[in-house]
Each structure stands twice: as C-alpha cells, then as structure tokens.
Amino acid sequence: MSRKWMLVLIVGALCTLAGCSEQQLAMTLMNGQNTDLKALVGVKEGNTELGGIVQWRKKDDIDWGPEPTEVGAYVRYYLTTQDAIIEDTPESSLLAPWLDRLHARPYVGLDFLGSTDCSMRHVQPNWVVGTTFSLEPKDVGDAKTFINVAYTDGDQASGDTFVGLTHVRRW
C-alpha cells in the first residue's frame, strides 16, 4: 500500500470519528531512547483514541531532514483513572504534596508503522503500554496537558521508552 493510500485511510478514520459526540483532539509529542521525535494526532472519544503517527528515528548521518523515517496509525485504550498515593514514606519529602495530588491514567495500544523508504505493505505493529499524569482529575475543563510516559515493543521498535507531553482539547 502506498503512502498516499495510508494517509487517505488515516484521514478517513479521523473524519468518521469526528461525527461522534464528545470527541476530543489529542496531540502528543514524545522523545525516546531510539527516536528523536514521535508526533501523534488523533481523535479521542471516551476511553478510545485513534489517529496518525509521524516518527523520526535517530540517524548516524548528518543529513537529518524534515522527512520522517516512519508513518502510520495508532489506537489507544485508556483504563479508568487511578490516583497515585504516597505510602510508607519514612520522612516527609518536598515532592510529597505534589505526588499526593497526582492523577495517573494508564493505557494500552497498538502502533502500526511503516518505513517511508519502503512500501507501506511492510507495516509492522508495535504494542504500547503507557501512563498519562496530570495534577487535575480527568474531566476538568475543555483543555488539559499531561505528562506521558510509554514503553513500546515490537518489530519496528524493540524496547523503546518514551517521555513527552500530551494535550487534549474538546471540539
């Protein structure tokens, strides 16, 4: 499948989801051990998020350009909100009040990535396990920014750990 058809499928999936109620636009920028930049843009409804990925892998050559090394689609499923609680701390920490307010929301998902150098029929799935962290409960306000920590493994990314920011905004 060519890159053009892959982009048409991603845009079609996003347009289909845009007709649903309570949709949110989710934008994520992450940096990983083996990845310079991973950008995700998707539509989130309820606990499910679908969208497209553009990824730049680390390169040895100096000619790093604006063209990504991998493109594809992703799906994420967010589990219920879990609150992180500090327990059994022997002495009070400067971070304790901040961590007491921290809200964590774990997720699982799949990334379907293909190299821009090859045809898109070589798309490989990678599984993702991650958590978004916020200082506010999940349903506060129209826009919210999260710290995102994720672990990705599979054929395209073996054991890559990512850290970044996710911004979710209601439409």
Cα separation of 106 and 169, whole Å? 19
Neighbour count for residue 39 (Cβ, 10 Å): 15
Number of domains in the chain: 1
* Residue type for position 15: C
Does the structure show a pLDDT above 80 at 119? no
The count of residues in the chain is 171
Percent of the chain residues past pLDDT 70, beyond the cut: 67
Q: What is the pLDDT of residues 19-54, one digit of tens each?
A: 555 678 899 999 988 888 899 999 988 889 999 998
Cα separation of 113 and 39, whole Å? 12
CATH number assigned to the domain comprising residue 152? 2.40.160.20
Q: What is the pTM of this model?
A: 0.76
Q: Which domain holds residue 34?
A: 3-170
